[in-house]
Structure 1
Amino acid sequence: MPGVLDGVTVIELAGIGPGPFCGMMLADHGARVIRVERPGNAGRFGEGGNRDILNRNRERIELDLKNPEAIAQIKELAKSADALIEGYRPGVLERLGIGPDVLLAINPKLVIGRMTGWGQEGPMAPLAGHDINYIALSGALHSYGRKGEKPTFATNAVGDFGGGGMMLAFGVVSAILHVRSGGIGQVVDCAMVDGAAILSAMTYTFLANGQWQDERGVNLLDSGAHFYDTYETKDGKWVSLGSIEPQFYALLLEKTGLDADADFAQQMDQSRWDELKGRMAEVMLTKTRDEWCTIMDGTDICFAPVLSLTEAPKHPHVAARGTFVEDAGIVQPAPAPRFSATPADPVKMAGW
């Protein structure tokens, strides 16, 4: 069955991380994504790149972009493509002879998605960087971590993938919709520093309204509260609690046996959070993770066990939804989100 992006053709100039993630998102949902690799590039995760989940569901061609004949092929592909995505530093595409001016002259309806850390302009635009640097400059990293401890980053999720690849996919699809409604092609300047900043919009809202201290680990959603945190269990594993609303908090106190303790009655008294967190931690250590699951599963406490990467695909809820799939012996996240009328095809790792 055709996916929701059936009929969309995207040229992907191969890179790593956020660019391929964008290509995966588009390809998962039916776009024809042609990944342009360097000749002889076996990929970073096995022969032909076939062990890299980010490169699934693609067509693949090999072109040496330093060769004029290869550049001519890119121009030919661009004539009928809807979009081209790339993750080079600013100016590289222009030096190759396939910058936006050239490509838009060939195809005025082309969307050119440019994935960088610092953006196409600005004092830091030409500099190298990685996820940790982009989220640091956006203010996001400052908010992640425990009180009095150093900032803790979320394994490339905020900069590279959420603020980068997924933002680029949104931008490219939006620009294609603009073209199909009668508009012209254009450049999508996707900078991970911008993406990390916009992912922090809620935090900046709280800060602007005096509901957030500009300090990590002391606020409602950053591990400051005793009812919104992770806790170690008797067997050395972990559980997560998110009992913000009063009715959910009441259930938490009931199931932990703390409902008769008057100290826990003033849920939002921040002056007590550190003390209550310590006492909650003592309670959580009295049972194993599975014992807490037996007590709390099926309730509105807002509870979940902290599962490892190998445990998560086997959880009954995750398994029932098919959140993970397996192809070519690789367990991997299934395409998301889900469309009722145009579901994504099964993932394809083989054939690279």
Structure 2
Amino acid sequence: MGPLSGYRVIELAGLGPCPMAGMILADMGAEVICIDRGGNPPALYGQDISRRGKKSIVVNLKSEEGRKALMKLIASADVLIEGFRPGVTEKLGIGPEDCQAVNPALVYGRMTGWGQTGPLAQNAGHDINYISITGALHAIGVKGQKPVVPMNLVGDFGGGTMFLVSGVLAALLEAKNSGKGQVVDAAMVDGATNLMWMCHSFHASKMWDFNERGVNMLDGGAFYYDTYETKDGKYVAIGAIEPQFFMTLVEKGGLDPEIFNLETQNDMDQWEEKKAILTEVMKEKTRDEWCALLEHTDACFSPVLSAYEAFDYPHNQERDVYIELDGYKQPAPAPRFSRTKSEVAHGQRPSGHDTRVVLEDLGLSSDDIQTLIDQGAVQ
């Protein structure tokens, strides 16, 4: 039984960060009930890993009877999460005030890119847009070249999902003491900005240049913190920042101590020259040969793996970093708990799979449920 066993979460079906938040809460043991809108679930592909562990009911949110059924469910819940534009749930009659009128202790989690307020709040956007106004996108890339898109990890999931989950959990703790719920306004812009905290610290200490990318210690500017191609066309990652780790890299990697030494390690004027030299050195051996020399040392070295390779990597296998479910390998629940272990209850269920069971749990009779189905309020 996970640490959130006994909690009920209502998730209004959507895409991206909000569904991942629901997945994490379900992995932790919460009963997550996904409110679908009929037809196929809103997924970009056939297999949606984020729907694992969740129940699915189909409710017609534009039907008055459907809304009433949903409000009855909300009255029994601890959390509701949604990822619509600001004002959408209010128009549907299931906004925070509507829901907290029937459940004052409800934690209402809202996930958007721009936030609930501000001049951009009603604009469409995606991860790339949200992180572009935080300085994060500008900071990622090679010196003298255009910014590099970091997939949708920084805005959607790092700045979005994780802040929604932490906000919901904090609000649940507070509600346990006060008996009162509240709205959690999780915006990807806010989250991505917070992810930049270390860069801001370095900048305040005059150790980071906000105007340039690829010239700072942690953005690939430093020769000892970058990726390098190997003899076989693969890549390795080096992050030997601290003096003792840097010297391990030099000694175990057989690097020339006249060139690679502590006295000049952080001389930024020499970074490009040293990077060019190290680039050629790393091409002298294959990735596996470098792994044999450096992988199990404190050189802060690792191979750059494809997702396929990551499945079979010994460290990941020993820790069961991946699980297989519905015929697909996928990330195992995280983080790990010593006593109330997280687990995946089941795989993705078809849209509406649990409509009858959930409504029966609310006390509706078979006849009542059939009436709702006949009215088109639920499916």
Question: What is the letter of the counterpart of residue 165 of structure 1?
Answer: T
1:288 aligns with 2:279: no
Equivalent in 45, 48, 54 of residue 58 of structure 1? 54
Q: CA deviation at 1:136?
A: 0.6
Structure 1 portions without partners, runs of 5+: none
Question: How far apart are the structure 2 equivalents of 1:323 and 1:317?
Answer: 8
In the alignment, the residues of structure 2 paired with residue 104 and residue 309 of structure 1 have an alpha-carbon distance, to the nearest angstrom, of 43
Which of structures 1 and 2 has the bigger CA Rg?
Answer: 2
Task: Return 5+ residue gaps in structure 2 as ranges.
Answer: 351-379
Q: Tell me the residue number matched to 1:198.
A: 194
Q: Distance in 2 between matches of 1:150 and 1:348?
A: 43
How big is the shift at 1:142?
A: 1.1
Q: Which residue type is aligned with residue 186 of structure 2?
A: C
Letter in 2 for 1:217: G
Q: Deviations over 1:182-236 (max 9, x none)?
A: 2411110011000100111111111112110111100010000000000000111
Residue 242 of structure 2 is aligned to residue 245 of structure 1? yes
Deviations 1:54-100 (A, max 9, x none): 11110000112111111111211111100100000001011001111
Deviates more, 1:309-318 or 1:37-46: 37-46
Say if 1:264 and 1:276, in contact at 8 Å, map to a contact too.
Answer: no
Q: Which residue does the alignment assign to 2:217?
A: 220
Residue 369 of structure 2: aligned partner: none
Structure 1 residue aligned with 2:7: 8
Residues 13 and 41 of structure 2 are in contact (CA less than 8 Å); yes or no, is this contact kept in structure 1?
Answer: no
Partner of 1:211: 207
SS of the residue 1:44 aligns to = coil
Does 145-154 or 81-90 show the bigger shift? 145-154
CA deviation digits over 1:257-307, x for unaligned, max 9? 224324644101000000000000000000110110011121000010000
Per-residue displacement from partner, 1:13-72 (whole Å, max 9, x unpaired)? 0000001010001000100000001112255366xx6x1111111000011211111111
Query: 2: distance between equivalents of 1:166 and 1:248?
Result: 31
Sequence identity percentage: 53
Please give the secondary structure, in 1, of the residue aligned with 2:75. Answer: helix
1:38 aligns with 2:37: yes
Q: Which amino acid aligns with 1:273?
A: W
Equivalent position of 2:268 in the other structure: 270
Q: Deviations over 1:145-169 (max 9, x none)?
A: 1111111121111100011011101
Matches within 5 A, 1:150-229: 150-214=146-210, 215-229=212-226
Structure 1 contact 113–189 (Cα < 8 Å) conserved: yes
Superposed CA offset, 1:89-116 (max 9, x none): 0010110011111111111100100110
Cα pair 1:25 1:166 within 8 Å, conserved: no
Of 122, 126, 148 in structure 2, the residue corresponding to residue 126 of structure 1 is 122
Aligned-partner SS, 2:158:
helix
> Which residue type is aligned with residue 11 of structure 1?
I
Partner of 1:236: 233
For the pair 1:256 / 2:253, whether they are aligned, the reply is yes
CA separation of 1:127 and 1:24: change in aligned 2, threshold 3 A: same
Alpha-carbon distance in structure 1 between the residues aligned to 2:186 and 2:237? 33
Q: Is the 8 A contact 1:234 1:289 kept in 2?
A: yes
Aligned residues: 348
Which of 110, 113, 119 is residue 114 of structure 1 equivalent to? 110
Maintained 8 Å contact 1:226/1:280: yes
- Work out which of the residue numbers 86, 101, 104 in structure 2 matches 1:105: 101
Look up the equivalent residue of 2:191 and give its one-letter code.
Answer: G
Q: TM-score normalised to the size of structure 1?
A: 0.96
